[in-house]
Amino acid sequence: MDKPVAYILNGPNLNLLGSREPAIYGNESLADIEVSTRNRASELGLSLVFRQSNSEGAIVDWVQEAHSKAAGLIINPGAYTHTSIAIHDALIAAALPKIEIHLSNIHAREAFRRKSLTASAVDGLIIGFGAAGYGLALEALRNLIDKRG
C-alpha cells in the first residue's frame, strides 16, 4: 500500500535559513531541515513533498496541487502569514488536514508578526520550537490523517 503523501511548503526567505538571523531562526539550513523532516516522515509512514518559494503565486499553486495529491499539508508561509489573503483562500479551499508552522514564536515578536491571516484556514499551529517544529508538525499531521481514515 502506498504511503500517504504530506506536502511541506515553505515561504519567502526560508531559503536563507542558517545565515538569516540565526539568533531568531537557528543555524540549520532549509536543506538540513528537509533531511531531518524526510527521516521523520519515513518513520511515520509518510511520503514527503518538500518545497520552498519566494513567490506567493507558486505557494498558492502548490496548496491547490496538494488538495488533489496529498493526504495532508504543513505550511510555513513566512512573511506571507501576515499579508496573504490569496494563500488563506487557497488553504480554505484545500479540503485536507493542514498545519501552520513557524520557527520562532510570532506572538513574542514585533506587533505586525503577531497576526496570522492564514491561521484560521488550518487545523492547528506549531510555533516557537525552531527546526524541531517540523517533526512535531509531521506527528500532528499524521494524527489528523489517521483520524480522517
What positions carry a catalytic annotation? Answer: 25, 102
HEC secondary structure over 92-124: HHCCCCEEEEECCCHHHCCHHHCCCCCHHHCCE
**Grid cell digits, residue 58:** 507558486
Q: What angle do CA 104, 110, 113 make, to 5 degrees?
A: 65
Helix (H) or strand (E) holding 66: helix 56-69
DSSP for residue 40: H
